[in-house]
Amino acid sequence: MLNVSISPSLKCSAGFSPNYTFFLIMRALFGIGMGGEWGVGASLAMEAAPVRLRGILSGILQSGYTLGYLLAAVAARFLLPAFGWRAMFWAGAAPALLALYIRTKVPESEAWKQHRAATTGEVLRVVARNGSASPILWR
């Protein structure tokens, strides 16, 4: 949840950049946060999809960034001339806030509930015994 809540903040903070260095740091941190959220969101979407459609839906999901480019171009057409480049980053935080809503309101998937470790102690014991969390992830 930390990852989901920090991403919109970092996106917005790029719009408040006082200089180029701050801007680059905020964008790099946002990229890390978005990368962390992308895997979680893709997993949640694929677990909810029917098994027979997962291949095609995964392809559509992974190529969905092009729709983002199109929406950014439309937003630039209207926001950029009227409000400047900073407003583009502030508006860009809205979809990230939608992800925050989804992560707090959508219940955990059945697959996750079935395979989750009972306690944090169990996870740490497996990691200590095997040097990795793979047995938890692959059972």
Q: What is the pLDDT along the chain (139 residues), one digit of tens a residue?
A: 677 778 778 888 889 999 999 999 999 998 888 888 788 778 878 888 888 998 898 888 888 888 888 988 999 999 999 999 999 988 888 877 777 777 778 777 777 777 776 778 887 887 788 765 554 555 5
Q: How far apart are the first and last CA of the chain?
A: 24
What's the token pair of residue 46? 């694929």
Predicted confidence at residue 115, as pLDDT, reads 72
Q: Which residues contact 17 (CB under 8 A, 6 or more apart)?
A: 23, 26, 86
Predicted confidence at residue 35, as pLDDT, reads 82
Interaxial angle between packed helices 20-48 and 54-62, expressed in degrees from 0 to 180 and rounded to the nearest 10 = 170
Predicted confidence at residue 1, as pLDDT, reads 65
Predicted confidence at residue 23, as pLDDT, reads 94
Predicted confidence at residue 132, as pLDDT, reads 57
Tokens 């400047």 correspond to: 84
